[in-house]
């Protein structure tokens, strides 16, 4: 039986610094889990570009900094396999933004409320042994995305629901192709609740939070 772990990260270095989340902590918990493979929130085309041009950072603004600075080097250092699982379509991405097409005044109000949701998520910092990897964080995150779905169901379906379904399916493909392996999903912490819910229904041993 495959063992699948989930590690939710914060992509932005200033927030990691503010909440005392050094990359060394992520490294520590990854090494404790000792994965054979890491399924990361990286677009397959970005992964291919990295393999061909490893110094070309910031391609499309992704992958996030923790991949360049920690995950990719760690995989190379420890011989850990890497599987890119992210999904989005650049030519239509902006058209499905949650607040696309909303008049400016109303959009400003909604963006302010969105910031309040984010503050609620951040407020769960101390709820778990790994910041933002906890039931409290996941509950706040679910409420935020349910709220967003009520504003723009179509945009939410494309940019969030379908994207996560495809990412999770790529994890399922990975554990089926590598039976009995230890597989770690490294994704932005907002994805945690959907990954945990879906993978918890699979015939695997799920480890979340990692501590």
For the chain, the structural domain boundaries read: 3-207
> What is the rounded distance in angstroms from the CA atom of residue 160 to the CA atom of residue 50?
25
Give residue-wise pLDDT tens across range 12-32.
Answer: 999 999 999 999 999 999 999
Length of the chain: 211
pTM for the whole thing?
A: 0.95
Listed residue (81, 43, 48) closest to 64, CA to CA: 43
pLDDT at position 57 is 74
- DSSP reduced 3-state for 92: coil
Residue 58 has pLDDT above 80, yes or no: no
Token readout for 64 is: 């996030």
Listed residue (9, 154, 156) closest to 70, CA to CA: 9
Identify the H or E element spanning 73.
Answer: helix 72-78
Q: Which residues contact 69 (CB under 8 A, 6 or more apart)?
A: 23
Give residue-wise pLDDT tens across range 102-120.
Answer: 999 999 999 999 999 999 9
pLDDT at position 89 is 87
Give residue-wise pLDDT tens across range 43-55.
Answer: 999 999 999 988 8
């Amino acid at each position: 039986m495959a063992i699948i772990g989930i590690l939710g990260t914060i992509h932005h270095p200033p927030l990691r610094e503010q909440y005392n989340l050094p990359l060394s902590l992520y490294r520590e918990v990854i090494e404790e889990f000792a994965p054979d493979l890491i399924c990361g929130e990286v677009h397959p085309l970005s992964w291919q570009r990295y393999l061909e041009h490893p110094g070309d950072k910031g391609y499309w603004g992704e992958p996030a900094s923790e991949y360049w600075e920690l995950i990719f080097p760690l995989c190379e250092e420890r011989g850990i396999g890497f599987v890119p699982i992210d999904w989005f379509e650049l030519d239509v991405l902006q058209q499905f933004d949650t607040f696309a097409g909303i008049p400016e005044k109303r959009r400003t109000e909604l963006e302010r409320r969105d910031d309040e949701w984010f503050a609620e998520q951040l407020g769960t910092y101390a709820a778990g042994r790994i910041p933002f990897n906890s039931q409290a964080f996941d509950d706040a995150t679910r409420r935020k995305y349910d709220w967003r779905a009520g504003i723009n169901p179509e945009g939410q379906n494309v940019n969030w629901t379908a994207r996560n379904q495809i990412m999770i399916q790529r994890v399922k493909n990975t554990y089926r192709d590598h039976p009995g392996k230890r597989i770690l999903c490294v994704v932005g912490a907002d994805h945690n609740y959907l990954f945990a819910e879906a993978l918890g229904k699979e015939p695997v041993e799920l480890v979340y939070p990692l501590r």
